[in-house]
Amino acid sequence: MDKFTRKTSFEQWFSPISSTKLDELVESYQLNTYTKKLYIDSFLKLFVFAQLNETESLRAVSDTLFSDDLQKTTDLESISFSQLGRRLNQVPTDVFQQVFLDLVTQIHKKTNFEQRRKTTTPLKIIDSSTLPLNLNNHKWAEFRKTKSGIKLHLRLVFLEKGCSYPDQAVLTNAKEHDRGQLEVLVDDKECMYVFYRGYLDYKRFDLMTYYGYFFVSRLRKNAVIRVLEPFERPKDSTVLSDEMILIGTTQNRAENAFRLIKVLDSKGKELHLITNRFDLSADEIAELYKSRWAIELFFKWLKQHLNIKKFYGQSEQAVHNQVYIAMIVYCLHVLAQLNTNSSKTYLKISRLLKAAPWKSAHIWIRKIEGKAIP
């Protein structure tokens, strides 16, 4: 990053959102047609600022424009909460999804993802999290008599140094089953996929194996199995057993042979892991499955630090838009860390930004780089 930039900290942090990309989206979706002042660039800056600061309502978002600095950044002197709500309901979710995916492309470049695909097998973790909604306000998302909610199905690129980031997302009603999303979230043969037993689907496992996709997941303990061949384990292995198996009954079974590895988790609970990868050691497979904690941390981060527990709008589009805006904020933190080679956590980067959004960017950059400010 250019330490001599005249931008504010917030503007520097926001800068990976390409104005060229926004212009393309404005043109493609006619986003600013009939708009008098809440243009998409101003809208996005204001809502990203609101998510960053965990602003709890549209009225509160409207009130933030009391700040002269925010007015200058967004080119808005004031805006009513009703106008904000209408805009949030009107903008197609695909717009925010495209901004999110553009940021993901930038992260891929910064982490040499394409090069890693050629030389290693990058790890992608798949899981879902239910985001509860108010039943009275979100009847379209009802999934039980007393509950409403949506489900965020997510794919996370796992990097060992702690820089993990989402690269694909699907939003559904909370009643949708996880396994139906595997077809969408598994699309790269150069990667290894890790997912929870909610995605258990023998036919899908056969298809993944047939088409050359590698995976590791959990098998239910009551699954019907037939052992074909036990594998020897090293004496120092923490694995309880390692076997080639067939799974399923005559009515519902997989055609391929798979590998079943039994291990103990950190609490002493026995886990049954299933994989179609036979070239790695059982201990390596067990380690791969342990990486699932990264996606659990992501969901926790999203809910605790991006105010995704309270939604501004009541329509399906408004709710989906807010989820994507939250993920845009997360990706901006990832890029801030990568662009400065910072060792600071996303939470620390976020706190420093919130503490001084209108200070000169070079001060914030030096702070997250861990350098002394002259």
pLDDT in tens, 233-247: 998 889 999 999 999
**Predicted local distance difference test score (pLDDT) of residue 211:** 95
Helix, strand or coil, per DSSP, at residue 273: strand
Q: Which pLDDT tens digit goes with each residue over 5-43? A: 689 999 999 999 999 999 999 999 999 988 888 999 999
Confidence of residue 318 (pLDDT cuts 50, 70, 90): very high
Q: Give me the mean pLDDT over the 222-251 stretch.
A: 92
pLDDT in tens, 137-157: 999 999 988 899 999 999 999
- What is the mean pLDDT of the segment spanning 52-76? 95
Q: What is the pLDDT of residues 82-129, one digit of tens each?
A: 999 999 999 999 999 999 999 999 999 999 999 998 899 999 999 999
pLDDT > 60? residue 214: yes
Give the pair of three-digit tokens for residue 194: 């890790």
pLDDT of residue 162: 65
pLDDT recorded at residue 5: 61
> How much is the pLDDT for 252?
82
pLDDT of residue 256: 96
Dihedral (CA of 323, 326, 332, 336) sign: negative
At 10, give phi and psi (nearest 5°).
-65, -45
Cα–Cα dist 116/122, whole Å: 7
The pLDDT mean for the chain works out to 92
Under the banding of pLDDT at 50, 70 and 90, the label for residue 372 is: low
Rounded to an integer, what distance in angstroms lies between the CA atom of residue 367 and that of residue 374?
A: 11
Backbone angles phi, psi at 134, to 5 degrees: -75, 120
In this predicted structure, the answer to whether residue 373 has a pLDDT above a threshold of 70 is no
Please give the model's pTM, rounded to 2 decimal places.
0.94
pLDDT at 307 over 80: no
Q: Are 217 and 286 in contact (CB under 8 A)?
A: no
Comparing CA positions, the residue from 135, 129, 134, 132 lying closest to residue 155 is 129
So what's the pLDDT on residue 37?
85
What is the pLDDT, as a whole number, of residue 251? 79
pLDDT at position 310: 83
Identify which has the larger pLDDT, 371 or 256.
256
d(C-alpha 302, C-alpha 355), whole Å: 20
- In this predicted structure, the answer to whether residue 325 has a pLDDT above a threshold of 80 is yes
pLDDT at 370: 82
For residues 132 and 146, give the distance between their C-alpha atoms in angstroms, rounded to a whole number: 11
Q: Report the pLDDT averaged over residues 262-274.
A: 92
What is the distance between the alpha carbons of residues 335 and 254, in angstroms, rounded to a whole number? 42
